[in-house]
Structures are given as C-alpha cells and as structure tokens.
Amino acid sequence: MIGVADNPPAPAFPPGPAPAPGAPVSRGVVVEARPGLWHFPARGRGPFLLCGALVMAAILAGCGGLPPVYVQLGAGGGPAPRSYPGLIAADEPQATLAARNILFAGGNAVDAAVALGFALAVTLPSSAGLGGGGACIVHDAGTGRTEALDFTARAAPSEGAARFRTAIPALSRGLFALHAKYGRLPWAQLVAPAESLARFGQSVSRAFAAALAADGGVLADDPMALAAFMTPRRQLLQTGDALKQINLAATLGRLRARGPVDFYAGTPGNQLEAGGGARSAADLRATAPQWLPAVIVNQGATRLYALPPGIGANDFAAAFAEASPPPTPDERAVSGSTALVVADLRGSAVACGLSMGRPFGLGISPPGTGFLSAPAPDVPTDDRANDRAAFAPVIGLKAADQEMHFAVAASGLGAETEATATARKLARKLARGAGESAAPDTGTKVSPRHSALVNFLTCGANESIAVQDCRAQNDPRGAGYAIILGPKELR
C-alpha cells in the first residue's frame, strides 16, 4: 500500500485566476482529490496525467480507507478569447452576479435579463417582485427585430378596501414570455439562482438596506411581511445582515418546475389574496404580457427604440423632442422601481424597468407566498408615492447596420428625462465617431436621494460588441453593480 506524506510539497499552480463556473475552456485534465491528496490543473500533459490517475486509482483500490480519485475531462487553461460574453448593469450587485453566471453558462442577453429580473425580486424586493411587473425593450441580433414587451401590473375586480387593492402579479408571466420568444437556456436554469438566493440566504446589500431604512415603515401594515425583513432583535435588517426568504423560495421553486401555470391557475390552494380581495382564475388568466412595436426616434447616426406612451408613465418621443431640463427636487418622492441593461456577445441587448408601483408595494404579502403585493394602478397615490411605475428603457442602434450601440434604463422620479439626456449624449458620441462612454446628465438641481438612477452600457462608434471597446456603468448615486465580461474573466 502506498501512503500519503503528511506534508507533501505544494504543487506548482500556473499563474492566473481559476476559470469561472460555466466558462468555455480548452480540453485538458484536472485530477481532483479529497483530503490528503493533491489537487492540481494540468496544461498540455493530459495523456500523461490521465494514465497516471488511472494507475493510481488501481493501486488505491486495495486501500479501502482512502477516498477515491476523480478524473474530470474537458477542464484546464487555454488562450483567452478576444470577445466579450456580455455586459451587465443593474441596481443590486448580487442580482448582477446571477446574470453574469448565466452568460458564463452560454446564455444570451435575454437569458441573463430573465435571471436578473427574478434575482432582483429576491435581493431588492422594495423595487422589484413577483407581485409587481415591468416592461422591456429587446433587440435580437439574429433576426434584427427590436420590440417592446409590456408586463406592467394591472388592476383586477376586487371588493377590498381602495387603499389595499392589489394589482395582478405580472413579473413571472412577463419574464416567461421574454424567455419563450428569445431565450436560449432552459427556463429552470434561469429561475434557480433566485430560488437559491431566497432559500439559502443572502447578505443584505447597501441598496436594499437603504430602501429598508427609508421606506420600510410601510411593512407595518402586515406583521408577517415586516418580520421577514427584521433581525431576531426586531430591528430592520442592515447592510451585511443575512436574509432568508423560505416562502419566496418555495414560490420560486414552483415557478422553476412548472412555469407560471400554477401561479396563475386560480385554484383554491393557489388563489392569491391580499387585503380581503381575492383574484379569480379568470382575473389571473386575463393578465397577459403584450408584445408591441417600439417607438422609434432617429437621432443622427443612431436609431432609438423606446416604450410606447403610457407604459411606465413614459412618452419618450415627446421628452426627447422637448429636451426638457431635469425635474425639480421633490423630497417626498420615492422610487419603487429599478432598471437593468444586458448585452451579449452576439450583439443582442435588453433594457428593462421593473416596478412595485411604490416602495415595497402595498407592504403586504399574500399568505404563504413570500412576495409583496403591488398596488393596483387605480389605487390613489399619497404624499409618499407620486412617481408610480417610473422607468424608461431605451436601446440605441446604429442606423447604418442596425448594430447595438448602447442600452439605457432609468428608474425613479424623472426617469424619462434622465434616460433621454443619457441617450442623447451617447447618440452624439456616435455622431462624432467617438468610442468612449458618457456619464449620465444628472443635473445639479435634482435631489440625489430622489432623482432617477441610470444604468447604461455602450460600445464604440466604429466597433461592435465583439471587440474590446465596450463600457458598462451604474449611476454613481446608487449602490448597483456593472460588469464587463472580458478575456481576463475567461482565462
């Protein structure tokens, strides 16, 4: 029997970070070991190591006390690709990382946006959630089609009190429609990251902690909902605190396994109730996402695509034509919306706005579901919420060849104006032939706490997304995260 040295010399690891999960890699051999055995990658020595591993496994077969040796084919290092798998910018870092992993796994921009939307429902439930909705602009590079998807939350007949009239949940059905038309990876693979975050817990980010501190008081209307976001000492969660959402994980698990079918079935066990008003099966089934032609605005060498008027409280064409200044401060205004942008290697792009109607929606949760209900559009506003579903996604294509030039998404008070200013600046960059990114025009008269936040990504004027001339950026006033997945991440 061959023994294992107590202190074997450390193997020489090649420089460079380990390959990310799901990243494309060249063929090689990795011999993985359990405690007491070495673990090392091999480059260019595949046959030798494979034979050695098999011989070692045969020798150790008679040593029942030692763990087995595992041989994994298809791993190892190799030349880094010269193209970007994608770019992502969103208002919450952990959700951004979930989208990154989908791109690493071979997903396209739509796959990443779907995973990002579900993850935001877990990590930033003040602004996105299964009880709310949203809208997206989608550019598919394969077909050259650019269109809008409207899945904003709508009202349903209810006998509940006016201030508690809930909207029919629209997020899951909207993301399902987005995936069904343009997605690439299996549906379950896109919902699983959000389910994992909810089931096994996450660290509260600065973005969500700020929302809790500013607007968490609305949760007092539902003690169960409030308890979900409190510490054992009955204090609202703060940055770095652990947050588990078991009921939400169970709801996401059903969505992962069966899609939105059960969620909208309206059976007695699944009927969603809040504030005394139950939605019937007919109400639930009647709320379907709508694919619509996008509004087109020509600006020099750029063709801008935006949401039709009335979706997300937007009229982008009018705002773009007026060139109005940023809105004046309104310290009472708060945002229950969030925005995201994603682009992939093929040149497809998605820009979305998601909303709970107001921060934390109505602050109440249908029993056993784990998510918060959004207010119906006809619920009267109060002095806390006058921006409603304020978001504005825009995609800019190069008019000459319809290649993606930039994607912008703003959310919050003045989202339309902020998105317009940013899109205008990026379009001018293209007209001048510049390849550098531009920061959003935020204006000095707007309240930093209550003005819209902008996420955007852009590629150079004379380059495509397949070369190293792209940028992704968050609004510096927020606490989001932007990622450019480049060659270094794929080594």
Q: What is residue 321's predicted lDDT score, i.e. its pLDDT? A: 74
Cα(481)–Cα(490) distance, rounded to whole angstroms?
19
Nearest CA to 344 among 99, 44, 30? 99
Which of 77-86, 143-152, 369-378, 390-399 is the least confident region? Answer: 77-86
Within this chain, do residues 40 and 93 fall inside the same structural domain, yes or no? no
454 pLDDT higher than 90: yes
At 194, the pLDDT band (50, 70, 90 cuts) reads: very high
Query: Mean pLDDT over residues 432-452, rounded?
Result: 48
Same domain? 302 vs 170: yes
Asked which of 37, 56, 79 is the last residue of a domain, the reply is 79
| pLDDT value for 131 | 92
pLDDT on residue 17: 41
What number is the average pLDDT over the span 107-130? 96
The pLDDT score that the predictor gives to residue 376 is: 82
- What's the pLDDT tens digit per position in 48-60? 444 454 444 444 4
Please answer whether residues 120 and 90 qualify as being in contact, where contact means their C-beta atoms are separated by less than 8 angstroms: yes
The pLDDT, as a whole number, for residue 23 is 44
Residues 468 and 432 in one domain: yes
Q: Which residue, of 79, 111, 135, is where some domain finishes?
A: 79
Mean pLDDT over 219-227 rounds to: 89
pLDDT for res 73: 29
* Both structure tokens of 323: 């060139």
Residues 232 and 357 in one domain: yes
Q: What is the mean pLDDT of residues 228-253?
A: 92
Nearest to 142 by CA among 184, 172, 101: 184
Whether residue 466 sits in one domain with residue 388: yes
Does the pLDDT of residue 402 top 70, yes or no?
yes
pLDDT at 206 over 60: yes
pLDDT of 142 higher than 80? yes
Q: What is the pLDDT of residue 470?
A: 82
Q: Mean per-residue pLDDT for 304-322?
A: 80
| Residues 57 and 73 both lie in one domain | yes
Segments forming the whole domain that contains residue 11: 1-79
Residue 175 has pLDDT above 90, yes or no: yes
Check whether residue 23 and residue 164 sit in a common domain.
no
pLDDT band at 128 (very low <50, low <70, confident <90, very high): very high
374 close to 357: Cβ distance less than 8 angstroms: yes
Answer yes or no: is pLDDT of 307 > 90: yes
CA distance 479 to 203: 14
Q: How confident is the model at residue 224 (pLDDT cuts 50, 70, 90)?
A: confident
pLDDT of residue 286: 67
Angle at 125 between CA 221 and CA 138, to 5 degrees: 140
pLDDT in tens, 455-477: 999 986 544 444 457 889 988 88
CA distance linking residue 416 with residue 339, whole number of Å? 12
* pLDDT for res 5: 38
The whole-number pLDDT of residue 459 equals 84
Residue 337 CA, distance from chain mean position: 13
Q: Lowest mean pLDDT: which of 205-209, 313-317, 396-400?
A: 313-317
Q: Please, which pLDDT band fits residue 386 given cuts at 50, 70 and 90? A: very low
Q: How far apart are CA 8 and CA 393, in angstroms?
A: 57
Taking Cα atoms as reference points, which of 409, 156, 147, 395 lies closest to residue 290? 147
Lowest-confidence segment of 68-82, 336-350, 436-450 by average pLDDT: 68-82
Residue 195 has pLDDT above 60, yes or no: yes
Q: Are 311 and 152 in contact (CB under 8 A)?
A: yes
Interval 127-144 mean pLDDT: 94
Looking at the structure, do residues 286 and 421 belong to the same domain, yes or no? yes
Per-residue pLDDT tens over the stretch 293-305: 999 999 888 999 9
Q: Of the residues 10, 44, 79, which one is the last residue of a structural domain?
A: 79
Q: Which residues contact 468 (CB under 8 A, 6 or more apart)?
A: 82, 84, 486, 487
Structure tokens at 12: 């020489």
Same domain for 292 and 237: yes
Secondary structure in 3-state letters for the chain: CCCCCCCCCCCCCCCCCCCCCCCCCCCCEEEECCCCCCCEEECCCHHHHHHHHHHHHHHHCCCCCCCCCEEEECCCCCCCCCCCCEEEEECCHHHHHHHHHHHHCCCCHHHHHHHHHHHHHHHCCCCCCCCCEEEEEEEECCCCEEEEEEECCEECCCCCCHHHCEEECCHHHHHHHHHHHHCCCCHHHHHHHHHHHHHHCEECCHHHHHHHHHHHHHHHHCHHHHHHCECCCCCECCCCCEECCHHHHHHHHHHHHHCCCCCCCCCCCCCCEECCEECCHHHHHHCCCEEEECEEEEECCEEEEECCCCCCCCCHHHHHHHCCCCCCCCCCCCCCEEEEEEEECCCCEEEEEEECCCCCCCCCCCCCCCCCCCECCCCCCCCCCCCCCCEEEEEEEECCCCCEEEEEEEECCCHHHHHHHHHHHHHHHHHHCCCCCCCCCCCCCCCCCCCCEEEEEEECCCCCCCCCCEEEECCCCCCCEEEEECHHHHC
**What value does the mean pLDDT of the chain take?**
74
Q: What is the model's pLDDT at position 101?
A: 93
Q: Smallest Cα–Cα separation from 158: which of 362, 336, 356, 425? A: 362
Task: Provide the pLDDT for residue 58.
Answer: 45
The reported pTM is 0.76
- pLDDT mean over 5-34: 38
List of residues 6+ apart from 181 with CB closer than 8 A: 291
pLDDT, one tens digit per residue, over 261-292 is 877 765 444 444 433 344 566 666 667 899 99
Of all residues in the chain, the percent with pLDDT exceeding 90 is: 39
Please state, as a whole number, how many other Cβ atoms lie within 10 Å of the Cβ of residue 271.
15
Same domain, 301 and 180: yes
Per-residue pLDDT tens digits for 32-47:
333 333 333 334 444 4
Question: Which bin fits 323, alpha (ψ -120 to 50), beta or left (φ > 0)?
Answer: left
Task: Inform me whether the pLDDT recorded for 74 exceeds 90.
Answer: no
Q: Verify that 448 and 469 share a domain, yes or no.
A: yes
Average pLDDT over residues 238-256: 94
Alpha-carbon distance 220 to 225, whole Å?
8
Lowest mean pLDDT among 68-72, 124-128, 440-444: 68-72
Percentage of the chain modeled with pLDDT above 70: 64
Of residues 79 and 203, more confidence is placed in 203
Q: What pLDDT score does 486 carry?
A: 65
- Alpha carbon 95 to chain centroid, angstroms: 5
Domain count, the chain: 2
Residues 379 and 275 in one domain: yes
